[in-house]
Copies of this chain bind each other. A is one copy, B any other.
Amino acid sequence: MLIVMRHSATPEEIAGVVATIEAMGYEARPIPGKQRVAVGLIGNDGKVDEARLVNLPGVLQIIHVSQPYKQVSREWREDPTVIGLANGTVIGGREIVLMAGPCSVESEEQILAIAGTLKTMGATVLRGGAYTPRTSPYAFPGLGVEGLELLARAREVTGMAIVTEALDPDGAFLVAEYADIVQVGARNMHNYSLLRAAGRAGRPVLLKRGMAATITELLLAAEYILNEGEHRVILCERGVRSFDDHARNLLDITAVATVHELSHLPIIVDPSHGTGYRRKVIPMARAAIAAGADGILVEVHPHPERALSDGAQSLYPEEFERLVTELRSIARAIGRDLVAPLP
């Protein structure tokens, strides 16, 4: 931590900062500059409270040198985290995972039909909401536990792994009984009670970036999960809030590169929520893979025009099939490949 003094700071003010740092139990090291003095705080164990320093006389600002997260950082662990699922799908390695399915589970017929179709097209993880967070209290909230049972049934029939969202701590444990991956959605990225529960539920966690969360905050949210003992966390970029309404969100593909620099955790991209319009989903899925994403999470519905939620951004199955072909070529163009289809 660096305490930058004002141009006009007196020697007494500088000495005051040094004394305060030492009283806090750390070492202080003044660094004279051409324009101003800065005082380094040495020995920061992550618990320094800048509040004691920021308002001392002569202080201009506090600069943080260390990152606030630890276990998720690539400095902590150089090798990428690789997550294996029961059906053989491996996430975070050389191969790229395809997660697909409808926004919401609507009926047994719907979920079995789309799961069967998606499996033959190469997806190995089935997504589908049983508990769906909705901005309005009057919108369809999902089938609840019945939806979880239908997802489990689809796994039995197809062999696909299941990822579905939990909305609160009790829900995290319930979802973990049925699904292979527990999803924490963008609206709940800062819901620390849920993050802690997800970290104790015994399943890999898919953590979506909040709609105005920095990458640092995303990594700190993941740190909550790792800190409970669950190291199998998959991050997911799904677009951030923007000033332009041409897309539902602004999909931040650069986040893929940033996460790979800073963390050992895998990161996938959701171009469906990230754009909100079917026509934009396909180019952005391609862009995600070209940028190095470890997978995509995409909405596909047998009849998007009849979907109970998010139909406008859901692909038709035949669109998904063409997309998979393009993604395979792009993956190979950068030295990767898609996860092998299920048998």
Contacts and interface: CB of A to CB of B under 8 A. Distances in A.
Interface string A266-288: 00000000110011100110111
A151 B29 CA distance: 41
What is the total number of copies of this protein in its complex? Answer: 4
Interface stretch (A63-71, A112-120, A156-164): A63-71
Interface in A206-220: 211-212, 214-217, 220
A9 to B, nearest CB: 10
A23 to B, nearest CB: 11
A291 interface: yes
Nearest to A261: B279
A190 interface: yes
Contacts of A254: 246-247, 250-251, 274-275, 280, 283-284
A44 B49 contact: no
Interface residues on A, range: 35 or more
B284 A253 contact: yes
Contacts of A69: 136
Contacts of A46: 138
Interface string A18-32: 000000000001011
A171 interface: yes
A278 to B, nearest CB: 6
Nearest to A218: B244
B253 A138 contact: no
Interface string A34-57: 111010101111110111101110
A193 interface: yes
A52 B191 contact: no
B51 A312 contact: yes
Nearest to A197: B168
The 8 closest A-B CB pairs, nearest first, are A51-B311, A212-B212, A329-B333, A187-B190, A290-B290, A168-B193, A287-B287, A286-B290
